[in-house]
Structure 1
Amino acid sequence: MSPPRLPPPTEPIQKRCNAPYLFPRAQSTVLPDPSAFFSPNLLSNPLPTNSFFQNFVLKNGDQPEYLHPYLVKSSSSSLSLCYPSRFSNSAFLYQIFNADLTISAPGETSQASQKSHVISSFNDLSVTLDIPSSNLRFFLVRGSPFLTCSVSGNAAVSISTIHAILSFSSNSSNTKYTIKLNNNQTWLIYTSSPINFSHSLSLLNCGGFSGILRIAILPESNPEFEATLDRFSSCYPVSGDASFTKPFCLEYKWEKKGWGDLLLLAHPLHLKLLSGDVDVTVLEEFKYKSIDGDLVGVVGDSWTLKPDPVSVTWHSIKGVSEESYGEIISALSRDVAALDVAAITTTSSYFYGKLIARAARLALIAEEVCFPDVIPAIRKFLKEATEPWLDGTFNGNGFLFDDKWGGIITKQGATDTGADFGFGIYNDHHFHLGPSTDNDPSPPRRRWRPPPYPRCQGREPPPPPSPTLMSTPSLPYMLPAFPAGQIQPPRNPGPTPSRYDEALPRGSLPQATDHPPASPMIPGNDLRCP
């Protein structure tokens, strides 16, 4: 009797690895060193690279930033405040910086004094800036009509101006001072305890002070506005967060100190979206000028902003007529058959990414017209085209982990600020990689079927990555970007739009467009097109 025949060998089962994906490390020669301006305790986490305070951490850190309603500049161990005027012509509008008031505290001369400032904390709506050579800490909060400074150690305080002081007076308790300048500005200074200032033509001096110092301009020298500033001068914000905790809802929450209610300023869009569900009071007549329109006073330490809901869908907005299915499927089959990774000649992360995105769009079209047969070929193309960028095997470029700022840059961008439209200095990452996508909230369509390929269903944002732990799914959530305008790359033509831009209803799919040029940024000035 012959022995039983053995079954044919089976292919080994490949177990899916759950270990986090590690990008190859970058050795950038063009990125600035963040340790020059960030506190050491912040350097172990990813750092913001497209923040409202970016000028404080680039180059010498001495260019102004606009915090609504003031331009603020830190340099030479001092901080300058400006209520800006504007210049405009037919091409652009920008704000002019003049050091209306400069706050400093003459301190010891040491190596620490060579650093103009250090950022000790930051969040969505505020940044805390310390002056190492003195005992000054500034709570810079967006939209605050007051500049708030904490003075410790009974430090000497000086406040200077480039203008002439026409008059200088105080209240009976020496906790409020009024300064009138020869440029028609009136400034108010509030202190948490009595302070004795002496003054000359353009300088105020105090021998020693510990406590909170707040400074605000009096718009149009209006006495009614002065009463409002007096009323809310004792409550100050030290930080502020923006959070998306509910659908179609943005919440602003500030941490405050002192006593009383918190006064902040809202620009026109805030006022339009401000919900009546929260306990806030809008002071419609209390206004500051800004480049974004009038800023109006709002009393309250928590805002809820509610825009009109907009449905975000996977498929075309109006759907596709079934009569067109045959024509679309025929064109779809030809384009999928033409997919070939070897035929891609560009090494640019932007233009390569557009080709990958267009191929991925073919899968969405296939699903919408109920033709899943081509999707395996599309997935194979996407896998072969994408993975070399992630594992370092792509010839000529690839994604690398930068442990200085805690984000992703490209191999070409690591040595050239102009490569990949400035990707190596965190410029325009959203153009190259695209935003993250969440659930489709739209109702099921007729003849809808479960997707034949994976989707990101209700994924929660992962925790911030570390230099040794960075998984691929976290990519859309943590990639930072330097302000557009750090570089001025040449404008290159993008790929020709796909025929599917015309085959599907207008507006159903994103149009292929050229990469928008980075607009030149005038340091310290906020640009707007009229």
Structure 2
Amino acid sequence: MDTALPQNRLSRFSNDTRISPDWQSTSCNTSTSTWTPHFSAVSYTSSSDPGSTWVSTTSASGPTTNAAAASTTTQTSNSSVISDAAAAGPVATSGDTQAPTTTSTTTTSFTPTTTDVVATVTETRNASIAVSDPTATPTTSSPDAAQASAIANSSVGSSAAASPSQGPSSNAPVVSDANTAATQGPSSNAAVAPSAAATPDPARITQTPTSSVASVAPATQGSVNTSLPTSGNPSMQPFPTRVISSPSSVIDPATLSVTTIVESTTTEGVSAAAPTPPNSSASGSAPAAALSSTTTLTISSSSSFVASSASSGIPSIITVAQGVATASSGLTGSLSQDVFNPISTGGIPSNIGSRGDHPVARLGINQNTPIETNKFYANFFLGSQTSPSFTHPYSVAWNKGAPNTGSWGLSVSHVDADQRVYGPQQSNIPGNPVKYYANPLGIQSLIFSATELGASTVLTTDSLQGASVNVNILPSGSTAKRQLAGKVTFPLVQGMGFVTAIYSGLQPILQSGVFFQSIVSAGTVQTGVYKYRITLQDGKNWLLYVAPSDGVDPKMTLVNNMHLQGPSGFNGYIQIAKNPSGTEGEAVYDRSAGVYATSAEVSGFTSGTTGTYTHSWTKAGLTNLPLVMFALPHHMQSLSSSTLGSSTNVKLQTTTKGLGTAIVADSWTLVESNLPLDMAFAPWRPTTGSVNSLSATAVQLIHTVAQSEVSEDMNKQTALDSMYFSGKALAKFAQIVYVIHDLAQDDTLAAAGLVKLKNAFSLFVNNQQRYPLVYDTAWKGVVSTGSFATSDSGQDFGNTYYNDHHFHYGYFVYTAAVIGYLDSSWIAGNRDWVNMLLRDAANPSTADTMFPFSRSFDWYHGHSFAKGLFESGDSKDEESSSEDAMFAYAMKMWGKVVADPSMEARGNLMLSILARSLQNYFLMESNNTVQPANFIANKATGILFESKVEHTTYFGDNLEFIEGIHMIPLIPSSTLTRTTKFVTEEWNAYFTDTAVVPASGLQGGWKGILYANLAIINPKASWNFFAASNFDVTSLDGGASRTWYLAYAAGLGGHNGETNG
């Protein structure tokens, strides 16, 4: 497929220019894929634009079954016609016509096997040819109808030699009744036989337009340039600043008096002796002195957070008896646990302020309840409101009077796999995978509009929920005019089988930017539901169902080859669906025509190691009928047997998630049968569980390293201007303190480190960091004030704009889980603050009205989306699958520590779902069947958008960046999501000594990440790297420690007691 475009069209990371199907460039500063559309097969270079390579071919009119070749194609600079092959040149038309100026012509022979009209198609730029019969256009002053008239009067397609007996030309669409279709001779691609349920209406008549709005349909395949939408994503590596040279105190257990941790057996409180740390200097660098005595603390269950104990100079007691054992779970019983119980329905901590002046306006939103910021439909209320939203398998976008069709309606697009475009091959990677693949934007297969829509049209949204939204298009922005003028409402639900438009008092128009080839009336399929078969100029088949409220035949009228019109003042709904499966597909759609989903709900429970969750939908229309909804590949792998029995053979390509499969059912039940119940803080494998003890020689080295690392200045490393960087540094120290206590088994050193960790954490609980958190009353969430203070939307990776909240807050949740595990008395004073972060990113219940439901994690896709309030032509995306899993893991562990069984169960279920979805879509083993075969050798996807996947990062194209961002952080859940097969293939492809990026030759933090990841498949090599006497500490990023990496490698089998590891 040709991908050659002028190099000056786009620069990397720049705003781009979308090439629209009429070859006119339009600026679009939010779209991220530029598409040069073309028909495949015939290549030529335009003399008027010698820097660009276009590719074009067309098909002849009439039946083309068994045709020998393609038709003739002519490139012109300023005009176009469709003519009979017998004509020497373009057919003359009525009206003033400018003579074409041919610049290049490529012709292939066409040998029809039936009686056909063979067309010469001339592709144009800036066409201006009058229509032969202007009276065929709608006689109305309404903008969308007028636009059709204007287009019809600027370009014509005709075939002088065509006759009705020869069948309709491919550029002269026909509406025909099913009873007469055979005699009318529609194209072989025009329709399939009506299903048994369809009842033809012999009273209907054939409608043949006397004009076409254009001579050739816009292309539906093309070349692409791609750039990244970098708003809110600064080009910064994901490493906090590392401070090694300035320890806050030298913690030496040899100078501390022996202390015994007394584990209480009561629930009232815990009494234990603990070491009293020395008074330190203002710089915090004074060494600890020997204790002259010990102090006994009695901590009740209502103890406040660490600030009080830190100021008293007494470290908190590590009360493991009141914590949670590292290898056990409270969910081992057989009782069912609802995983969607609310975390809280109360307020948030009083020291979190509020403000309602968020920089992003709520465009057209008619809702006061919490707004989803990271869901598939956000483009409808952001920026221009015209970037697409992806319901899968369809995408929809507001045309807003855009060029090509000029429509003000909602366009519907579906892209097949053969329409994708691919980036250049990467010859340095084994298998030569392509850099990216992208699905073209702007193919307006069908457009729902109305004659009343025009320049004053507005788009609003309501009922914004976790997996659904209502999009309303109204003729006027005035509230009073809206009430009088009616509207079109589109209930958009993820996976919907039909795109449904509900008309209230408007005259429907169904348009096509690809152009109608034929429309066949097929009678009724249910009482009052009228069916049409549509074939577009690209040969794709669609089904149209019209359900008027009064049940009266709406008598849809074909005006021209891009304009099908209904009756004025129409009330009812219209549905469309793409049919790839002939009569079998028709039968599936016919069975459910007239019913549609309006909203979605997810529910779930766990029992032992099995988690079950259900997607169910609220219905409207003919609610006695079953819904048609499309399942993604990871759904199909986990469907219950009963739901699987409702699946069909109707499959449509999604943009980035493989084939969608139509399921005829009102709900799906999905099962995950291997929940990671025993995963805790220690190194863990799915096959062997947690490893809670290490060899003595491993412990000796780990202890030595930990003693140094826990002495570092925690406050200096964690009190940063970024919630992301601060959280990563806190989590690093939490891992160190955990390892010291549980794996190195030094309670005293751990207790001293815990004091420092609590103190560092308290800065954020007290909201005294550089950019405090604030509750945003506009969108309803907790955000950093960084962008308010700096006017930089990219501050802290766009946190203020709801970017990456699950990444940022997950590190804090993990840190809190470790602290609470080691000191359960700390929980009471900090629970609300930690829960606030969880409620913001992952609120499990709509009963909690402070936050939207599941802001980040998408229960339909099975993973999170990181992009917040930024309009994007490629819609939502995720760059780090591993940090996505980290959040679920942190939530699980916090739920375990605070004894919230619903939260713990939800974390377990999310981890299992993530493992399945990531292994299908992000982490590609050699036998992956979901992603394109020429892409999977990349191993990790890079950034997965909803319309494209690009092997890159927002901060650079280094291969260690691209693969490594899907590794960090290396934690117990890493072995669940990253299989040994995948890690082996990835390591061999990139990081062996003979590969393209030998890990041994790298410098900096990525080197440590790669060798920690190596522990999954070769823990001994990983251990040896981190245990080396000449280990270079610069191989650690600021969010990682040598202590944890050594423990991780040893726990996965890297050290079994031998002296040299």
TM range, smaller chain: 0.7 to 0.9
1:229 aligns with 2:553: no
Matched residue, 2:601: 241
Q: Counterparts of 2:519 and 2:571 in 1: how far apart (Å)?
A: 22
Q: Counterparts of 2:711 and 2:546 in 1: how far apart (Å)?
A: 73
Q: Counterparts of 2:580 and 2:612 in 1: how far apart (Å)?
A: 32
Matched residue, 1:363: 737
Question: 1:282 deviation in Å?
Answer: 1.6
Q: Counterparts of 1:307 and 1:135 in 2: how far apart (Å)?
A: 43
Residue identity opposite 1:79 in structure 2: L
Residue identity opposite 2:573 in structure 1: I
Matched residue, 2:226: none
Q: Counterparts of 1:507 and 1:125 in 2: how far apart (Å)?
A: 43
SS at match of 2:803: coil
Question: 1:218 deviation in Å?
Answer: 1.7
1:58 aligns with 2:382: yes
Matched residue, 2:906: none
Q: Counterparts of 2:383 and 2:721 in 1: how far apart (Å)?
A: 30
CA offsets per residue over residues 300-342 of structure 1, 9 Å max, x none? 1111122342423222223332524344334333333334424
Question: 1:432 deviation in Å?
Answer: 1.9
User: Which of 409, 412, 436 pairs up with 1:81?
Assistant: 412
Superposition pairs for residues 178-217 of structure 1, below 5 Å?
178-192=533-547, 193=551, 194-201=553-560, 202-208=562-568, 209-217=570-578
User: Which of 487, 491, 494 pairs up with 1:135?
Assistant: 487
Matched residue, 1:161: 512
Q: Counterparts of 1:158 and 1:455 in 2: how far apart (Å)?
A: 66
Query: Residues 477 and 376 (structure 1 numbering): CA distance in 2 closer, same or farther, change over 3 Å?
Result: same
Superposition pairs for residues 21-170 of structure 1, below 5 Å?
21-25=349-353, 31-34=359-362, 36-39=363-366, 42-43=367-368, 45-76=369-400, 77-84=408-415, 85-89=419-423, 90-97=434-441, 98-107=443-452, 113-115=456-458, 117-133=459-475, 134-153=486-505, 155-170=506-521
Superposition pairs for residues 360-509 of structure 1, below 5 Å?
360-369=734-743, 370-394=745-769, 396-414=770-788, 415-434=791-810, 451-454=821-824, 471-479=833-841, 480=855, 483-484=866-867, 486=870, 490=955, 494-495=1037-1038, 497-506=1040-1049
Superposition pairs for residues 177-326 of structure 1, below 5 Å?
177-192=532-547, 193=551, 194-201=553-560, 202-208=562-568, 209-219=570-580, 222-246=582-606, 248-257=611-620, 258=622, 259-278=624-643, 280-283=645-648, 285-291=649-655, 292-311=657-676, 312-317=679-684, 318-323=691-696, 324-326=698-700
Question: 1:70 deviation in Å?
Answer: 1.0
CA offsets per residue over residues 183-221 of structure 1, 9 Å max, x none? 11222111223311111221011123212211112216x
Residue identity opposite 1:434 in structure 2: G
Residue identity opposite 2:654 in structure 1: S
Query: Residues 15 and 223 (structure 1 numbering): CA distance in 2 closer, same or farther, change over 3 Å?
Result: closer
> Quick check: 2:546–2:575 contact (8 Å CA) kept in 1?
yes
Q: Counterparts of 1:261 and 1:392 in 2: how far apart (Å)?
A: 51
Q: Counterparts of 1:384 and 1:139 in 2: how far apart (Å)?
A: 50
CA offsets per residue over residues 82-132 of structure 1, 9 Å max, x none? 11232223111111131111111233879xx442x2221133332221223
Greater strand fraction, Structure 1 or Structure 2 = 1
Q: Counterparts of 1:183 and 1:72 in 2: how far apart (Å)?
A: 19
Query: Residues 376 and 319 (structure 1 numbering): CA distance in 2 closer, same or farther, change over 3 Å?
Result: closer
CA offsets per residue over residues 136-155 of structure 1, 9 Å max, x none? 111112222211122223x2
Greater helix fraction, Structure 1 or Structure 2 = 2
Residue identity opposite 1:82 in structure 2: S
> Quick check: 1:189–1:216 contact (8 Å CA) kept in 2?
yes
Q: Counterparts of 2:586 and 2:422 in 1: how far apart (Å)?
A: 30
Identity over aligned residues, as a percent?
22
Query: Residues 279 and 66 (structure 1 numbering): CA distance in 2 closer, same or farther, change over 3 Å?
Result: closer
Q: Counterparts of 1:162 and 1:19 in 2: how far apart (Å)?
A: 50
Question: 1:431 deviation in Å?
Answer: 2.2
Question: 1:234 deviation in Å?
Answer: 2.7
Query: Residues 378 and 22 (structure 1 numbering): CA distance in 2 closer, same or farther, change over 3 Å?
Result: farther
Q: Counterparts of 2:468 and 2:376 in 1: how far apart (Å)?
A: 9
Q: CA RMSD in A?
A: 3.5
CA offsets per residue over residues 481-510 of structure 1, 9 Å max, x none? 67449599646964173112332133969x
Matched residue, 1:171: 522
Query: Residues 340 and 229 (structure 1 numbering): CA distance in 2 closer, same or farther, change over 3 Å?
Result: closer
Greater relative CO (CA pairs within 8 A, separation 6+): 1
Q: Counterparts of 1:316 and 1:489 in 2: how far apart (Å)?
A: 30
Query: Residues 337 and 30 (structure 1 numbering): CA distance in 2 closer, same or farther, change over 3 Å?
Result: same
CA offsets per residue over residues 216-267 of structure 1, 9 Å max, x none? 12216x2221122112213321111223333532211111231222221212
Q: Give the gaps of 5 or more residues in structure 1.
A: 1-10, 441-449, 463-469, 510-530
User: Which of 321, 325, 332 pairs up with 2:706?
Assistant: 332
CA offsets per residue over residues 37-72 of structure 1, 9 Å max, x none? 321xx23x3321211112222112110112111110
> Quick check: 2:411–2:444 contact (8 Å CA) kept in 1?
yes
Residue identity opposite 2:474 in structure 1: P
CA offsets per residue over residues 357-411 of structure 1, 9 Å max, x none? 11111232133233332344334323332333344433x3232222221122223
> Quick check: 1:232–1:262 contact (8 Å CA) kept in 2?
yes
Query: Residues 27 and 389 (structure 1 numbering): CA distance in 2 closer, same or farther, change over 3 Å?
Result: same
Q: Counterparts of 1:452 and 1:165 in 2: how far apart (Å)?
A: 68
> Quick check: 2:694–2:1051 contact (8 Å CA) kept in 1?
no
Residue identity opposite 1:313 in structure 2: A
